[in-house]
């Protein structure tokens, strides 16, 4: 048998193994994710990364014009507007987080990866960046955007009793005059900062993300929602269709406004089924949120009386009780 025969035999053996892996993979995969026949399945993150790079290089080659020159379709694969450096990451890290998004764990502790599924997702991300990324690049996304998100838009984050990343937003706390000073691009950049923070967060990668938004009956709420509507469309496109985020739940509390439910009802049919299943609306919601994330992990602003606000403490170890960290007796 010559060298080419060895290669062909090895390739056939690899294909057989991948078919076997695919059987396990299909049984364990998150039903929200779509595996396709012929996807490249592997135990090796390194081989999967190599295959993923091969798929993207082939896509870049296919998008060249007849003279071999870069076309408009090719630009997205240059990742000109990628923000990975803002979070201390490399482009390899971007590819890895999408591969780890596809992984499933077997009973023996090993992981399987679907490089082809990761390629489809990172292609969506590259398309999103090519469309919206220039607004994140000039100037580069930075801590000022984070401060806008936290101080004006009232975003914050913590980790719950299961180590899941929880993003909180308290709409009643928004100061309308401060919000009016923001341009749509500033709002977009602030929201994009938090989405990318979640994309690169190890706890979110392992355990998933929960979003909790507190509403109110304030007359300023319609104005805020109207100002942010167009931004929300692009951000939701990133979060739901072009990121590696495993969205466990989206919870809206204090929803007592009839027109708000009507608005969401009109958008409901446009959402994928798995996204619809993630949404939960509560007229109060304090008890439900406390049960989901743990009483001691809910910020004071969200109406749980137990303990102090976990978010006031910097550097809380993942999964630890906030009350132990600040030295307060429960209750």
Q: How far apart are CA 327 and CA 307, in angstroms?
A: 10
> Is residue 103 predicted with pLDDT exceeding 50?
yes
Structure tokens at 3: 């060298």
Instruction: Give the per-residue pLDDT at 105.
Output: 86
Instruction: Give the per-residue pLDDT at 218.
Output: 67
Mean pLDDT of 89-109: 92
Instruction: Give the per-residue pLDDT at 5.
Output: 38
Instruction: Give the per-residue pLDDT at 48.
Output: 93
> Is residue 161 predicted with pLDDT exceeding 70?
yes
Q: Which residues contact 256 (CB under 8 A, 6 or more apart)?
A: 215, 217, 283
> Is residue 118 predicted with pLDDT exceeding 90?
yes
DSSP 8-state symbol, 316: P
Q: Is the pTM of this model over 0.85?
A: no
- DSSP for 229-273, please give it: HHHHHHHHHHHHHSS---EEEEEEES---HHHHHHHHHHHTTS-H
What pLDDT digit, counting tens, does each position of 284-324 carry? 888 999 999 998 898 876 654 443 333 333 333 433 333 33
Write down the number of H helices and E strands in the chain.
15, 8
Closest CA to 59 of 73, 46, 38, 41: 73
Instruction: Give the per-residue pLDDT at 62.
Output: 82
Is 170 in a helix, a strand, or coil? strand
Q: How far apart are CA 247 and CA 280, in angstroms?
A: 13
143 or 128, higher pLDDT: 128
13 or 282, higher pLDDT: 282
What pLDDT digit, counting tens, does each position of 179-214 carry? 999 999 999 999 999 999 999 999 999 999 999 998
- Strands 209-214 and 165-170, by their bridges, are parallel
Q: How far apart are CA 230 and CA 226, in angstroms?
A: 8
Q: Could you report how far apart the first and last alpha carbons of the chain are, in Å? A: 75
Cα–Cα–Cα angle for 202, 203, 204, rounded to 5 degrees: 90
Neighbours of 64 (CB within 10 A): 13
- Strands 279-281 and 247-253, by their bridges, are parallel
- Strands 111-114 and 104-105, by their bridges, are antiparallel
Instruction: Give the per-residue pLDDT at 36.
Output: 75
What pLDDT digit, counting tens, does each position of 20-75 carry? 666 666 666 666 667 777 888 888 999 999 999 999 998 888 877 666 677 777 78
Question: Of the ranges 5-9, 39-43, 72-76, 163-167, which one carries the lowest mean pLDDT score?
Answer: 5-9
Instruction: Give the per-residue pLDDT at 12.
Output: 42
Cα–Cα–Cα angle for 193, 148, 129, rounded to 5 degrees: 25
Instruction: Give the per-residue pLDDT at 312.
Output: 36
Calculate the average pLDDT of the chain: 79
Is 227 in a helix, a strand, or coil? helix
Q: How far apart are CA 120 and CA 122, in angstroms?
A: 6
Residue with tokens 């379709």: 73
Instruction: Give the per-residue pLDDT at 61.
Output: 83
Closest CA to 94 of 226, 217, 238, 244: 244
């Amino acid at each position: 048998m010559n060298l080419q025969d060895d290669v062909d035999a090895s390739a056939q053996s690899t294909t057989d193994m991948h078919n076997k892996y695919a059987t396990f993979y299909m049984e364990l995969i998150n039903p929200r994710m779509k595996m396709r026949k012929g996807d490249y399945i592997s135990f090796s993150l390194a081989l999967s990364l190599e295959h993923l790079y091969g798929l993207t290089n082939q896509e870049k080659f296919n998008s060249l014009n007849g003279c071999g020159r870069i076309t408009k379709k090719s630009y997205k694969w240059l990742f000109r507007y990628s923000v990975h450096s803002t979070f201390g990451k490399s482009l390899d890290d971007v590819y890895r987080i999408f591969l780890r998004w596809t992984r499933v764990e077997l009973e023996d502790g090993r992981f399987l990866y679907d490089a082809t599924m990761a390629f489809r997702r990172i292609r969506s991300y590259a398309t999103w960046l090519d469309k919206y990324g220039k607004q994140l690049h000039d100037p580069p996304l930075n801590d000022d955007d984070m401060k806008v998100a936290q101080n004006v838009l009232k975003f914050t984050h913590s980790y719950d009793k299961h180590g899941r990343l929880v993003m909180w937003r308290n709409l009643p706390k928004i100061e309308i005059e401060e919000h009016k000073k923001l341009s749509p691009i500033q709002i977009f950049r602030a929201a994009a900062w938090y989405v990318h923070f979640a994309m690169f967060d190890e706890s979110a990668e392992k355990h998933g993300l929960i979003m909790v938004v507190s509403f109110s009956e304030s007359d300023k709420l319609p104005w805020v929602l109207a100002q942010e509507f167009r931004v929300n469309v692009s951000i939701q496109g990133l979060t739901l269709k072009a990121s590696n985020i495993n969205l466990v739940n989206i919870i809206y509390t204090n929803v007592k406004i009839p027109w708000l439910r009507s608005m969401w009802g009109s958008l409901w049919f446009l959402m994928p089924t798995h996204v619809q299943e993630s949404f939960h609306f509560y007229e109060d919601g304090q008890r439900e949120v406390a049960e989901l994330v743990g009483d001691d992990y809910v910020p004071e602003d969200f109406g749980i009386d137990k303990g102090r606000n976990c978010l006031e403490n910097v550097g809380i170890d993942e999964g630890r009780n906030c009350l132990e960290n600040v030295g307060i007796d429960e209750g």
